């Protein structure tokens, strides 16, 4: 999605930060349409699925653990640097 221009690199960081803030226990608890003002819920969900596929063995982990793993890769402190 980044290569296609549908998604910006910084959006990965913003998405993970938003998911940490909603404190959802499972993926069904997430209101994808309200996560990022400048991206649709469908696009956010698609990108999340891509990110989870990229974390290898963590795909089988519960949603909350997936968020934790990705939050270590996409730490919010890097948002300004990535813009």
Residue 60 lies in a domain: yes
- Would you say residue 82 lies in a domain? no
In a domain, 43, yes or no: yes
Residues 22, 27: Cα–Cα separation, whole Å: 11
Q: How far apart are CA 72 and CA 74, in angstroms?
A: 6
Please check whether residue 27 lies inside any domain of the structure. yes
The whole domain housing 67 covers 2-77
- Selection from 76, 77, 83, 64 nearest residue 18 by Cα: 76
Residue 15 CB: number of other CB atoms within 10 A? 23
The answer to whether residue 1 scores a pLDDT higher than 80 is: no
- ∠77-11-39 over CA atoms, to 5°? 140
Structural domain includes residue 25: yes
- 64-74 per-position pLDDT tens digit: 899 988 988 88
- Bigger pLDDT: 81 vs 32: 32
Task: Count how many domains the chain has.
Answer: 1
- pLDDT tens per residue across span 49-60: 999 988 877 668
Q: What is the pLDDT of residue 77?
A: 65
């Amino acid at each position: 999605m980044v290569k296609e221009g549908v998604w910006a690199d910084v959006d990965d960081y913003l998405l993970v930060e938003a998911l940490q803030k909603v404190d959802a226990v499972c993926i069904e608890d997430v209101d994808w349409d309200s996560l990022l003002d400048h991206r649709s819920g469908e696009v956010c969900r698609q990108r999340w699925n891509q990110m989870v596929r990229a974390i290898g063995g963590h795909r089988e982990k519960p949603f909350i653990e997936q968020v934790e793993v990705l939050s270590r890769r996409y730490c919010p402190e890097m948002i300004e640097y990535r813009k």
